[in-house]
């Protein structure tokens, strides 16, 4: 999406536009009343574009005080974290907000509420108002979902609160709505969006705007969370039914409007307009010097540092590397067709493995060099890289191979926050929740077929036949781990399923150091390595040494982290807020 995303005042003061001059001639832009702005469709659209810019998610995403990506809070990647150490303090997941700040959730909600209020009071045609308002409502739902999955129920502010005065301050002391009420409001906003936006925008310049299917897909994600054990410990089937209905609606709307699985698991990231996989995306561009530049940062930050100007983030752990199935869809060690060994870990894996993981010696076209190979081994105790990978691996998903070293920092690759594959996976999970296991099989097989997994004589693509409900849930979470690796979903999946203790506690994540042997290696290996058989090199020339990445502590996630505590600073600021029961208060986040 190539929207400018600029504040009205900045835009108008920089450019002489007919629309700006027509409406705001001789008007102080610093105190322009909404009534003037919101009778002009162009200015209203510019304000909406600002809301898009402030609320569309960045690649992978982060959590509260953690400076690293969310991938480092699971077995996917590695980062030191107070959350995983079990030493999180009550004020340290602080996006609840204690002041008017454009960067926190409530600051963004205020901007959205002001937009909704002013559009409603403007003089644009009702059809236009509905279309504009419904897009803003989507982002209000987005912000409240971010809050509810962190804390449980929160105060629902649905109109702009007065900013000054004793009375205004008293009116701003709002109690927490229940978790059920918060979810209901999110769904209400998304239903309004679904009713008023098109199924597909006609103009290429509108690519990336919220569609009916996009809003329905997000609703499906929201209700899937509401049905998951974090919010549904009693396994209430009515919640699974609501999730199923929402995800089936999303599937139907999207397929009716031409969305579906992209033919290529890796190349789907580099098709922008009319990409069938892109259900909800954050648009970027490659501009390097003008005011509309919007570079995604992920490409430059994730690729090896010597192929960009930053690099080295989101490095896969050995646990993530080993998780990928074999080519027949069976887990390593379970396949009877393909033998797995740690020494030849890359052999006969699910095709998504090489499209996600960059490992020592793999051919990875970078900087326009189709024959480029990545080498991460050590020789004589020294890395052959300019800067060694901490885990021994890199993430190659969504890294554009044609971008040169100097241009990596200007990558404009769009980020797909919701892919069509997620819609299928959410549908499969919610179908499992209501015991429609055949439908779950259908969606998982479609995803594995696109990936290139072998179908097998039973046509199940490596899936176990006749799974129970519990087994199917496990299979879906496993498939999500593989399909959505490094897309910011693994931590949230483990959290909503309350599986972090079972998966991580007491463990230390693992990396690999690959050493070149000191004997038996050809003298010209360093200069001829690109021409050496990789199997020969790993069998005869390399040794693998496993190391602990978590050196300071074993992972010790605490049960109270499934609903973080309301920051004490927020409670001190608003006496009507009640702390969660899991943090010593009386508010039950499960109600």
What are the Cα distances from residue 507, in Å, to 107, 419, 510? 38, 32, 9
Span of 251-255, 302-306, 309-313 with lowest mean pLDDT: 309-313
DSSP state for residue 231 in the 8-state scheme: T
Question: For every residue of 53-114, which 3-state class applies, written as one string?
Answer: HHHCCCCCCCCCCCCCCHHHHCCCCCCCCHHHHCCCCCCCCCCCCCCCCCCCHHHHHHHHHH
Is pLDDT above 70 for 317? yes
User: Residue 221: what pLDDT?
Assistant: 98
Counts for the chain of helices (H) and strands (E), in that order: 22, 8
Better pLDDT: 168 or 478? 478
Q: In sequence order, which residues have a C-beta less than 8 Å from that of residue 345 and are 6 or more positions away? A: 321, 322, 359
User: Residue 166: what pLDDT?
Assistant: 62
What proportion of the chain, given as a percentage, has pLDDT over 90? 78
Give the pLDDT confidence of 220-271 residue by residue, as tens digits.
999 999 999 999 999 999 999 999 999 999 999 999 999 999 999 999 999 9
Burial annotation 298-322 (CB, 10 A radius, 16+ → b, else e):
bbbbbbbbebbeebbbbbbbbbbbb
CB distance 499 to 481 below 8 Å = no
Rounded Cα gap, residues 401 and 558, in angstroms: 41
Give the pLDDT confidence of 261-271 residue by residue, as tens digits.
999 999 999 99
Is pLDDT above 50 for 119? yes
Is pLDDT above 90 for 12? no
CB distance 190 to 249 below 8 Å = no
User: Residue 142: what pLDDT?
Assistant: 98
In this structure, what token pair is assigned to residue 556?
Answer: 């010790």
Is pLDDT above 50 for 36? yes
pLDDT tier at 442, thresholds 50, 70, 90: very high
**Closest listed residue to residue 321, CA positions, set 286, 358, 296:** 358
In this structure, what token pair is assigned to residue 284?
Answer: 């970027």
Q: Is residue 515 packed enough to be buried (19+ CB in 10 Å), middle (13-18) or exposed (0-12)?
A: middle
Taking the model in full, what pTM does it have?
Answer: 0.93
């Amino acid at each position: 999406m190539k929207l400018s995303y600029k504040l009205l005042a900045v835009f108008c003061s920089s450019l002489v536009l007919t629309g700006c001059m027509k409406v705001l001639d001789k008007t102080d832009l610093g105190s322009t009343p909404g009534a003037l702005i919101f009778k002009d469709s162009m200015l209203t659209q510019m304000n909406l574009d600002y809301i898009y810019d402030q609320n569309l998610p960045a690649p992978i995403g982060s959590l509260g005080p953690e400076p690293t990506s969310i991938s480092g809070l699971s077995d996917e990647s590695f980062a030191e974290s107070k959350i995983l150490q079990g030493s999180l303090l009550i004020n340290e997941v602080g996006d609840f907000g204690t002041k008017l700040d454009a960067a926190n959730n409530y600051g963004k909600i205020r901007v959205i509420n002001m937009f909704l209020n002013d559009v409603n009071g403007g003089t644009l045609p009702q059809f236009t108002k509905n279309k504009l308002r419904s897009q803003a409502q989507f982002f209000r739902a987005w912000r409240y979902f971010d809050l509810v999955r962190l804390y449980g129920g929160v105060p629902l502010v649905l109109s702009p609160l007065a900013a000054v005065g004793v009375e205004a301050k008293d009116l701003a002391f709002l109690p927490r709505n229940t978790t059920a009420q918060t979810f209901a409001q999110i769904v209400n906003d998304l239903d309004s969006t679904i009713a008023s936006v098109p199924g597909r925008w006609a103009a290429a310049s509108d690519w990336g705007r919220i569609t009916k299917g996009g809003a329905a897909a997000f609703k499906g994600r929201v209700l899937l969370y509401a049905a998951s054990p974090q919010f549904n410990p009693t396994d209430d089937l009515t919640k699974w039914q609501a999730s199923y209905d929402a995800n089936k609606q999303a599937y139907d709307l999207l397929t009716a409007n031409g969305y579906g699985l992209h033919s290529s698991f890796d190349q789907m990231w580099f098709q922008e307009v009319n990409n069938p996989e892109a259900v909800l995306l954050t648009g970027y561009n490659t501009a390097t010097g003008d005011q509309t530049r919007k570079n995604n940062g992920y490409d430059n930050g994730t690729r090896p540092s010597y192929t960009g100007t930053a690099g080295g983030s989101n490095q896969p752990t050995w646990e993530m590397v080993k998780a990928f199935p074999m080519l027949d869809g069976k887990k390593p060690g379970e396949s009877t067709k393909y033998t797995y060994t740690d020494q030849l870990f890359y052999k006969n894996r699910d095709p998504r493995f090489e499209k996600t993981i960059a490992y020592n010696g793999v051919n990875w076209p970078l900087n326009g060099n189709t024959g480029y190979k990545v080498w991460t081994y050590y020789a004589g105790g020294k890395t052959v890289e300019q800067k060694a990978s901490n885990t021994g691996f890199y993430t190659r998903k969504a890294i554009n191979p044609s971008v040169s070293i100097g241009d990596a920092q200007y990558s404009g690759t769009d980020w797909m926050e919701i892919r069509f594959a997620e819609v299928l996976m959410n549908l499969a999970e919610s179908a499992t929740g209501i015991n429609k296991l055949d439908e779950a099989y259908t969606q998982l097989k479609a995803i594995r077929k696109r990936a290139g997994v072998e179908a097998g004589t039973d046509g199940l693509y490596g899936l176990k036949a006749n799974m129970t409900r519990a087994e199917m849930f496990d299979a879906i979470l496993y498939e999500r781990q593989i399909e959505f690796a490094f897309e910011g979903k693994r931590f949230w999946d483990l959290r909503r399923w309350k599986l972090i203790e079972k998966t991580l506690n007491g463990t230390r994540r693992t990396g690999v150091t690959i050493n070149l042997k000191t004997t038996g290696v050809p003298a010209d290996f360093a200069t001829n390595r690109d021409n050496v058989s990789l199997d020969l090199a790993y069998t005869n020339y390399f040794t693998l040494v496993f190391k602990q990445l978590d050196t300071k502590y074993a992972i010790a996630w605490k049960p109270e982290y499934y609903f973080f505590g309301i920051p004490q600073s927020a409670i001190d600021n608003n006496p009507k807020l009640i702390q969660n029961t899991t943090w010593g208060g009386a508010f039950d986040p499960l109600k």
